[in-house]
Amino acid sequence: MAISPIALNAYRSAMGQTQGGMSIQKQVEGAVGSGASQTGFVDTLKNSVAEVNAEQLKKDRMVASFATGENQNVHELMIQLQKAGVAMSMTSAVRGKVLDMYRELVKMPF
């Protein structure tokens, strides 16, 4: 199952903003361009999972705020629900691909 470019762009758009407001891609380009050491796969994976977790926590806070009547902005709530959903879907898709790759590696004779 190939991930369509539209879904990938939506995921990058949803996850593109970090706390400092700079996109992850720009941070990586800046690090590579400045000669700084590149982050490894494990660090990238940890950062991505942390961002997905942050989106989920933000969604939970917004749902609780809406349920208690503190915030009545339905539009922002629905946008956050979609962001969290897309982030989780993409994380699940990546997890599935990694597991498929691992299964293929295990099958290989050495």
pLDDT in tens, the chain (110 residues): 455 666 666 666 666 644 445 555 565 555 445 544 567 888 988 999 999 999 999 999 999 999 998 988 899 999 999 999 999 999 999 999 999 999 999 999 87
Confidence at residue 1, expressed as pLDDT on a 0 to 100 scale: 47
Are 101 and 108 a contacting pair, CB within 8 Å? Answer: no
Closest CA to 15 of 72, 53, 71: 53
Confidence at residue 39, expressed as pLDDT on a 0 to 100 scale: 73
